[in-house]
Structure 1
Amino acid sequence: MIFYGTNASRLKDGRLSNVTCPNCNEQTSMTYSVFGKYAYIYWIPIFPLGKTNVLECDNCKGTYKLKELPNQIKQKFELEKHTGVPVKHFAGSAIILALISWVFYANAKDKENEAIYIKSPQVGDVYHTSGSNSGFYTTAKVTAIEADSIFVIFNDYEVDKKSGINDIDISSNYKPENTEGYKIEEVQKLYADEVIFEIDRD
């Protein structure tokens, strides 16, 4: 099934009077239709691709694109008031822009929250960190906070992609023997150096 491509919608119909058809050479009228072309994804218009003008002689029913007709007809057509590009042809672009804006907003909001979490750690916070091996990632869960120290249990598992890190964040992967202690200032420096690159808090 094809989920992308181009299509067209009828924007306007009208009639030109007192024109000479190049096919039947009769002075007659011509009916025209203006079509707006657009690209789509999943049948949602993304952006316009211009217009196509089709004219039909009311006498001989010959059909032409505007560019195929004599200047006299072209000039008469240009004097008509034609519709602009419909807003709906930008619908997909608007949706994409809204999604991108939302992602930027959500990321900025997450960073604001993390700035608070790293200054005021709580038991249960989960740090996403670079693993013990270069190019691997793991998690560490805060289990205790005492004065200026913080204790975390490191996850038993590592992943090679940041996107898979949530898959290993399960309780059974945290063993007490993997507990390590740090000064709070050390943890804050690890976050500043992006060794800790994300913080989750329920």
Structure 2
Amino acid sequence: MIFYGTNSSRLKDGQLPNVTCPNCETQTSMTYSVFGKYAYIYWIPIFPLGKVNVLECNHCKKTYKLKELPEQIQRKFETEKHTGIPFLHFSGLAIILLIIAYFSYSSAKHKEAEADYVVTPAIGDVYSLKAETKGHYTSMKVISVTNDSVYFVFNDYEIDKKSSIDEIDKASNYTNYTDGYTKEEIVSLYEEETIYNIDRD
């Protein structure tokens, strides 16, 4: 279950002097509070949703939102030095961006490693590839490498989700069919994305 919604936090309190309250018509001061609204997921702020300004007459104690007050008071309020949006309200967004950056970096590094693996195959390398059955995927494991060829044992199973190949990549599933390719053929299969991932322990 995903918990999400909106909330607010108090950013600043202050006094607005020499104003006339529309309710009691007394020249007095008003206490104001600035609240920052934000959206959250699992109580972690994701991004800000603006500010709410609340003012209270110090004489009659009536409370107003800023937009409910006369323009003169609104202008006076805007001349006050107000706080900006705190970084905390962006913390969830910052976490999301860091996660995206991490996975992008990891993916780029893995692709760099694959570029090396495909030209220097080693025993135990696992190649994820498109199966002959359309829309299915399987894997094959390197069992021998010669000067110009690579020999594999194929996985006994196929799966219909490209990203779920780990579910069938088990030692007990490599028992039957074996075959060999030239190193040039392996590079070609990788370039045309029939082989789409290479893992090395």
TM-score past 0.5 threshold: yes
Question: Offset of 1:164 from its aligned partner?
Answer: 1.7
Aligned partner of 1:170 in structure 2 is: 170
Contiguous gaps of at least 5 residues in structure 1: none
Number of equivalent positions: 201
What is the distance in 2 between the residues matched to 1:39 and 1:47?
A: 6
Aligned partner of 2:93 in structure 1 is: 93
TM-score, structure 2 length as denominator? Answer: 0.98
Q: Is 1:116 aligned with 2:80?
A: no
Q: Superposed, which structure 2 residues align to 1:33-52 within 5 Å?
A: 33-52=33-52
Aligned partner of 1:190 in structure 2 is: 189
Give 4+ residue runs of structure 1 displaced > 4 Å after superposition. Answer: none
What is the distance in 2 between the residues matched to 1:171 and 1:31?
A: 71
Q: Percent identity?
A: 64
What is the identity, as a one-letter code, of the residue corresponding to 1:32? Y
Aligned partner of 1:131 in structure 2 is: 131
Q: Is 1:21 aligned with 2:21?
A: yes
What is the distance in 2 between the residues matched to 1:171 and 1:10?
A: 57
What is the identity, as a one-letter code, of the residue corresponding to 1:64? Y
Aligned partner of 1:12 in structure 2 is: 12
What is the distance in 2 between the residues matched to 1:190 and 1:178?
A: 19
What is the distance in 2 between the residues matched to 1:56 and 1:23?
A: 11
After superposition, what is the alpha-carbon deviation per residue over 1:51-106, rounded to whole angstroms, capped at 9, x for unaligned?
A: 10000001110000011001221121111100111111111111111111111101
Aligned partner of 1:62 in structure 2 is: 62
Secondary structure (helix, strand or coil) at the match of 2:139 reads strand
Aligned Cα root-mean-square deviation (Å): 1.0
Secondary structure (helix, strand or coil) at the match of 1:113 reads helix
Aligned partner of 1:31 in structure 2 is: 31
Question: Offset of 1:2 from its aligned partner?
Answer: 5.8
What is the distance in 2 between the residues matched to 1:39 and 1:116?
A: 44
What is the identity, as a one-letter code, of the residue corresponding to 1:181? G
What is the distance in 1 between the residues matched to 2:2 and 2:190?
A: 45
Aligned partner of 1:147 in structure 2 is: 147
Secondary structure (helix, strand or coil) at the match of 1:59 reads coil
TM-score, structure 1 length as denominator? Answer: 0.97
Contiguous gaps of at least 5 residues in structure 2: none
What is the distance in 2 between the residues matched to 1:142 and 1:148?
A: 14
Secondary structure (helix, strand or coil) at the match of 1:119 reads coil
After superposition, what is the alpha-carbon deviation per residue over 1:9-57, rounded to whole angstroms, capped at 9, x for unaligned?
A: 1000001111111001111111000001111111111111111000000
